[in-house]
Amino acid sequence: MSTIRPDELDDRLESGEGPFLLDIRPRPDFESQAIEHSHNVPVYDELRRGDESALQDRLEEIPSDGEVVVVCKMGVVAKRATDVLTEEGYDAATLAGGMSGWNGYQKGSLGYKLRSLLWKLR
């Protein structure tokens, strides 16, 4: 499974080579805070329960001609979505740490810095 670290995503977004950002969190979470230019397909709760058909039923909302980065709260449920997309032929990756990781990166938190060090050592 493919993942992308928040700092890598930020670099790609700043360069204009950003992927399609698919935020699967519930709409209220997305509306309260989201990565700029991301698109909400709120299937988080269904995927968490193991219902992959919720995402499969909405594939027409996700472009298949480029990379897709999936965002959720912590990155766990996004991995399920990434698996579904990959099985459907998409070039998909999960944002490591989800919105929590993104927020930590944006704030330069110690927790993010430690997590980032671990990701680089893998």
Q: Are 27 and 45 in contact (CB under 8 A)?
A: no
- CA–CA separation, 71 vs 50, rounded Å? 17
Phi, psi of 24 (to 5 degrees): -95, 0
Residue 31, classified by CB atoms within 10 Å of its CB into exposed (0-12), middle (13-18) or buried (19+), is: exposed
Task: Tell me, yes or no, if 72 is annotated catalytic.
Answer: yes
3-state class of 3 per DSSP?
A: strand
Marked catalytic residue, from 68, 69, 71, 72: 72
Please state the φ and ψ torsions of residue 20, each to the nearest 5 degrees. Answer: -75, 125
Residues tagged active-site: 72
